[in-house]
Amino acid sequence: HFEHALEGIRHGAFFYLPITSPPSDMAWVISKALRDLELHETLKEHEHHLFEELIGTSPAMLQVANLITKVAPTDSTVLLLGESGTGKEVMANVIHQLSPRREQPFIAINCAALPEHILESELFGHVKGAFTGAETDKVGLFEAADGGTLFLDEIGDMALTAQAKLLRVLQTGEIRRVGEATNHHVDVRILAATNHNLIEDVNEKRFREDLYFRLNVFQILIPPLRDRADALQTLAKQFLKRFNTKFDKRVYDIDQHAWNVLTHYEYPGNVRELESIIAHGVIMADGEVMTVNDLPDQMRFGRNG
């Protein structure tokens, strides 16, 4: 069953059901597939627009766009650097969409979000009985992304043991599921991102030097939002439109006082913080124009972060 499921996933299957599954399970899977397809198309369109808004007209971001168009058609590993919330995952997805692998999976995982043993199971998969709680075989993300792209976000937070296993994959193109002795070939492009200073982490022995060199074949530095003021207004308007739809509101503009506050804020959380600020403002607004009183407290009282 495990090999059949894996083969199906490699060829684009959405889900694997044993032949003995009841009709209710099939109905649930079909319903979920239709919902996920609609969500996937919506997100794809959203990310396309968000990429255009993120780029803006600043020389630094135009250079980012230039680097992306150069590296995307290759199969090179890419290391995306920048503060949290700058849009690194959007950039990674665009690299994938502009690559020959665009019809294959793009899978993202946040390496900081999971404990070490769970991260290894997520990445490499495991076999039944590999550890307490491993009641079934599990296909890892490397195998699920076979033929496509795997985006490793916050890679600077990855534990050293997982770093060693990742290095082996980059060197050999093979993975080994947790609890298994057999190696499996995978064809996956690796994109990685971090807000760490990895050179400093290498010097402090928190990050493997050999892995750093494997990942740092092509580096793209994404500037913080405070250094690309040209993108602020277009991003804010994009978020305004999206949250009007999401919250069924009709807030069509932002008044000048609110714009002044938005323009002078430092955005320690970058694009992600701007997004949440506009969402808050749309919810709070009573009329068709967002005012300074609709902004979060840290904006109105001048506290940056």
Distance CA 212, CA 72 (A): 20
Enter the tokens of residue 61.
């971001």
User: Which pLDDT score is estimated for 27?
Assistant: 63
Yes or no: say if 290 and 251 are a contact pair by the CB < 8 Å rule.
yes
Single-letter amino acid code for the residue at 201 = D
Q: Give buried/exposed letters for 211-233 (b at 16+ CB in 10 A, else e).
A: bbebbeebebebbbbeebeebbe
- The mean pLDDT value of the chain amounts to 85
Site of tokens 């599954």: 21
Q: Which residue has the higher pLDDT, 143 or 26?
A: 143
Query: Tens digits of per-residue pLDDT, 278-297?
Result: 999 999 999 999 999 999 98
**Is the pLDDT at 45 greater than 80, yes or no?**
no
Candidate from 146-160, 197-211, 231-245 with smallest mean pLDDT: 231-245
Distance CA 182, CA 184 (A): 7
Domains belonging to the chain, first-starting first, are 58-221 (3.40.50.300), 225-300 (1.10.8.60)
pTM of the model: 0.78
User: Which pLDDT score is estimated for 4?
Assistant: 54
Calculate mean pLDDT across residues 161-168.
94
Query: Tens digits of per-residue pLDDT, 83-127?
Result: 999 999 999 999 999 999 999 999 999 999 888 888 988 898 877
